Chain A
Amino acid sequence: MLCQRCGKKEATVHLTKIVNGEKTELFICEDCAKETGQIPFNGNDPFSFQNLLAGILNPELNSFSGIESELKCNRCGMSYKEFTQQGLFGCAYCYDTFDNKLDPLLKRIHGSTRHNGKVPKRRGGTLRVKREIEELRQELQREVERENFERAAELRDKIHDLEDKLGGE
């Protein structure tokens, strides 16, 4: 089998990652394994997500100051250190607690740090309105380019209404 990363060399390294109880397997060549820092160790599954996460956060772990290591979610009691060891948050409020540490982690996992998907009706907060304003602004620009000023004026009013709604909250 060929390496699943470069597609050129024979795959000799077998990576197993367990996420949510689902096993993901990856077959890559030695060069790619070295390049991505995924060289197998002895002992139990070094590519479990938890270990991978600890690896991602390793520089952070090393530079722990006393204050950072005490960073703790006051809702569920999960400390930042525990989070990096388990790879799981303890509750929804952990996200806010570890806020300024999350961006690099999410960037590594997802290549992004911001949600662009579905917004729930009831719990979406102001995000629904903000998304709507954004869409109306784009429509406004299109109408202005088409010199359709009557429609543009309507859209502008609509945007102002929605912005008032946001400001009022």
Chain B
Amino acid sequence: MSLRDIINKNLTHWVSGNGPDNDIVLSSRIRLARNLENVPYPNRASAEEKAAVSKSVIEAISQQNEIKLHYIDLADLPEVEREVLVEKHLISPIHAKEGMEKGVLLNDNETISVMINEEDHLRIQVLIPGLQLDKAWEIANNLDNLLEARLDFAFSENWGYLSACPTNVGTGLRASVMVHLPALNLTNNIGKVLGAVSQLRLAVRGLYGEGSESAGNIYQISNQITLGHTESDIIDNLKSVTTQIVSQERQARKLLLQEQEIEVKDRIKRSYGILKYAYRISSEEALKLLSNVKLGIDMGIIEDVDQGVLSELMVLIRPAHLQKIDGKELTAAERDIKRAELIQTRLNM
């Protein structure tokens, strides 16, 4: 099997597909928390009660033909396969840990996932490439309606959709975007921008790594507040902030070319060189260099690699994917070598 085949087989739509502003906005996500009225939440339910939740959700899905989803019982999956789902952002890390009666419903291109018996009975998620929050909401809302017609969701006139954690009550909506902001970082503007964002009741976190730097300059921005606003207010707020960040990142890229052209080109080409010739590489270093290469592609400095390389490789170079592609368990040291190999093959494609 060629690497292209392997990539196509393993990659999920938000990684392999395209969307508006995809050069900077890698993906848009909508997540809805829903619970059944008469069953204790997963933190307090018995195994039998949780099994009954799974059963009734699967049944509700099978009673409609509009959206096709297949069910995976996470207990049936080996650990590496569960981790693959985490690396694709289809389930949460907590959901992948061993536990009773946890499952996930997925559609064929993996744009929809419904976690069952995570912190809430249901977590409906739609994840698509580019800045497409409205489209993601439309899909999630439609699925929510189909389920609501068949399941008794816990809903209160005062507090809206009732969730296990008080931070999700009301709309149960968490909207988020994943953005790549290398130029804002290189021009030392990232702190200012993210600081402003967090005052708009949005939460920002670096996707990978600890400390003030996010390896790969990838950030996730999401709404903090779920109660008191309408879904469209929450989504519009995130959308307009994201649009502003996108335009600031584009400005910063122009500025970089004007004021530090030589330094930037050198940094990008050196990163490309290391990725092309390294014998082994850690995921942190790889992400850092891939971010530079992606910036080079977006700015027209690197022309022989396509735009999707960052999204694809940021998922493929993670431990579970490397082990799945290789078909066996790998030590950290072995993974570093496999990672370098995989990156080279992909860059030469």
Chain A residue numbers with a CB within 8 Å of B153 are 120, 123
CB contact between A22 and one of B92, B173, B191, B227 (< 8 Å): that residue: B92
Chain A residue numbers with a CB within 8 Å of B166 are 53, 87, 89, 102, 105-106, 109
Are B230 and A116 within 8 A (Cβ)? Answer: yes
Leading 3 A-B pairs by shortest Cβ distance:
A112-B228, A115-B160, A92-B154
In whole angstroms, how far apart are the Cα atoms of A136 and B38 in the complex?
Answer: 34
Are A117 and B231 within 8 A (Cβ)? Answer: yes
Could you mark each residue 99-137 of chain A with 1 if its beta carbon is under 8 Å from any beta carbon of chain B, else 0?
Answer: 000100110011111111111111111110010000000
23 examples of A-B residue contacts, CB within 8 angstroms: A49-B167, A53-B166, A76-B40, A76-B44, A91-B40, A95-B156, A102-B166, A109-B167, A110-B227, A113-B158, A114-B228, A115-B159, A116-B228, A117-B171, A118-B161, A120-B148, A123-B148, A123-B153, A123-B155, A125-B155, A125-B157, A127-B157, A130-B157
Determine whether B65 belongs to the interface, using a CB cutoff of 8 Å to chain A.
no
Are B211 and A14 within 8 A (Cβ)? Answer: yes
CB contact between B228 and one of A5, A24, A78, A115 (< 8 Å): that residue: A115
**Do A75 and B93 contact each other (CB < 8 Å), given the known contacts A88-B164, A105-B166?**
no
Determine whether A166 belongs to the interface, using a CB cutoff of 8 Å to chain B.
no
Are B119 and A21 within 8 A (Cβ)? Answer: yes
Could you mark each residue 222-252 of chain B with 1 if its beta carbon is under 8 Å from any beta carbon of chain A, else 0?
Answer: 0001111111000000000000000000000
- Specify the chain A residue showing the minimal Cβ separation from B152: A123
Interface of A is mostly: loop
Determine whether B19 belongs to the interface, using a CB cutoff of 8 Å to chain A.
no
Determine whether A40 belongs to the interface, using a CB cutoff of 8 Å to chain B.
no
**Do A86 and B94 contact each other (CB < 8 Å), given the known contacts A4-B194, A20-B119?**
no
Are A2 and B203 within 8 A (Cβ)? Answer: no
Determine whether B196 belongs to the interface, using a CB cutoff of 8 Å to chain A.
yes
Interface residues of B toward A: which range? 35 or more
**Do A89 and B167 contact each other (CB < 8 Å), given the known contacts A4-B191, A123-B153?**
no
Are B158 and A11 within 8 A (Cβ)? Answer: no
Are B226 and A87 within 8 A (Cβ)? Answer: no
Chain A residue numbers with a CB within 8 Å of B144 are 118
CB contact between B168 and one of A11, A20, A123 (< 8 Å): that residue: A20
In whole angstroms, how far apart are the Cα atoms of A111 and B163 in the complex?
Answer: 17
CB contact between A4 and one of B152, B169, B198 (< 8 Å): that residue: B198
Determine whether B35 belongs to the interface, using a CB cutoff of 8 Å to chain A.
yes
Nearest CB in chain B: distance from A116 CB, A: 5
Chain A residue numbers with a CB within 8 Å of B319 are none
Nearest CB in chain B: distance from A36 CB, A: 12
CB contact between B225 and one of A75, A111, A120 (< 8 Å): that residue: A111
**Do A115 and B212 contact each other (CB < 8 Å), given the known contacts A123-B152, A123-B155?**
no
Determine whether A71 belongs to the interface, using a CB cutoff of 8 Å to chain B.
no
In whole angstroms, how far apart are the Cα atoms of A76 and B95 in the complex?
Answer: 23
Chain A residue numbers with a CB within 8 Å of B226 are 110
Determine whether B216 belongs to the interface, using a CB cutoff of 8 Å to chain A.
no
Determine whether B41 belongs to the interface, using a CB cutoff of 8 Å to chain A.
yes
Determine whether A45 belongs to the interface, using a CB cutoff of 8 Å to chain B.
no
Nearest CB in chain A: distance from B234 CB, A: 8
In whole angstroms, how far apart are the Cα atoms of A6 and B230 in the complex?
Answer: 28
Chain B residue numbers with a CB within 8 Å of A142 are none
Chain A residue numbers with a CB within 8 Å of B163 are 89
Determine whether A46 belongs to the interface, using a CB cutoff of 8 Å to chain B.
no
Are B225 and A117 within 8 A (Cβ)? Answer: no
Chain A residue numbers with a CB within 8 Å of B38 are 92
**Do A2 and B198 contact each other (CB < 8 Å), given the known contacts A76-B40, A106-B227?**
no
Given A89-B41, A110-B228: 9 more A-B contacts, CB < 8 Å: A1-B212, A7-B192, A19-B165, A88-B41, A90-B41, A95-B162, A110-B170, A115-B158, A118-B144
